[in-house]
Amino acid sequence: MINLETPKKVRPLVDQAHQVAMNMLRPISRKYDAAEHEYPKELDMLAAMIDGLSESGASGGAGAAGVRRDESAEEKAGNKNGANLASVLSIMEMCWGDVGLLLSMPRQGLGNSAIASVANDEQLERFKGTWAAMAITEPGIGSDSANLSTTARKDGDEYVLNGEKIFVTSGERADSVVVWATLDKSMGRAAIKSFVVQKGTPGMNVERLEHKLGIRASDTAVITFTDCRVPAANLLGSPEIDTKQGFAGAMATFDNTRPLVAAMAVGCARASLDLTRDILEQAGIAIDYDRPALSQSAAAATFLQLEADWEAAYLLTLQSAWMADNRKPNSMEASMAKAKAGRMGTDVTLRCVELCGTLGYSEAELLEKWGRDSKILDIFEGTQQIQQLIVARRILGLSSAELK
């Protein structure tokens, strides 16, 4: 049974992440929001510290490298609080500091989660230590990842990639990019595989960096692949097209990354709530948890409603991560967490801007920035609408062909 308290073994990691967010990320948050596309050099020291923790075994699953489910592990009875739960809890704390800076962390890219989810043991060892971006989205296909048109053609011991990817987080800075491409368009979803393309590979070109509403500290690239040759060994997982498995191999990546994105939204929203409570109290508006909301001021009642919404997203996120740790299928719960947290994050951060009036809208505080940052968390890794569609399919027991 899931325990809703933070596990004792994870608390030191969570406390450490909070200290990093407060003392390292918050102080430079505004600086790199204004200096879009400038790499935050302060993160190099932080990355070195995380590498040291990982080597010592003390990280407990912090960051993108910690979300792999150990398929070879011997089943044990009882509750397990493992790498997935540790990852979401630490990411919540880091995003209490700054979402864009968290997304800029070396070797903590979403592509690392893809590698952790799909790669075989040999590939895990070979790509250990790489910083991997993830390239899924293409022009014109929206959130329908199964409809992508980037192709991968087998040629001897290599695959030849052709296509264009947009909105690639850390696409310029990362050491490599995990590219989703189809081996055979006529075979549908089952033919979609992911490939690790290392930086500098001929035929891969970063066309431009996007100017964005939020997470401006993070670079977001458009990348083209023109007869880009990749070693066949860089195809993650099995090269076989299994029509019975369908899109399951690719979806395993989302089952692990969607709780992480939900955690980002939960952390950013928590930052807004914490600051808003302080500002309201300084204005003489007390929030009393022992009295009904309707008997308090409108501002206090609104704040209590926002906190309740936040709590629901927080618990769903923990549930999806806990299920992964305990080897339970979590596709529906991962989408539930992502859908709830994404919408909650946008609602909470913008309402906090409203509650704090001129302080919320000005750059005197970070509230307006958190409002801008939170919107992307409702969009990438599958939009709100896509998550609801996935949940509906799971609840109704319908396939993607039956419910579109």
Q: How many CA atoms lie within 13 A of 216 on its CB side?
A: 17
Q: What is the DSSP letter of 6?
A: P
3-class SS letters over 180-225: EEECCHHHHHHHEEEEEEECCCCCEEEEEECCCCCCCCCCEEEEEE
Does residue 259 contact residue 321 with C-beta atoms inside 8 Å?
Answer: yes
Query: In whole angstroms, what separates CA 393 from the centre of its chain?
Result: 23
- What are the structure tokens assigned to 361, written together? 């809208």
Are residues 102 and 215 in contact, defined by beta-carbon separation less than 8 angstroms?
Answer: no
Given the residues 74, 164, 381, 402, select the one marked as catalytic.
381
Q: How far is CA 215 from CA 30, 101, 163, 170, 177, in A?
A: 11, 8, 26, 11, 19
Q: Tokens for 226, please give them.
A: 């023109």
CA–centroid distance for 137 within its chain: 15
Cα 342 to Cα 162, 173, 264, 337, 377, distances in angstroms: 32, 26, 9, 8, 5
| Beta bridge mates, 205 | 224
In 163-297, alpha helices (H): 248-282
Active site residue 71: no
The residues carrying an active-site annotation are 381
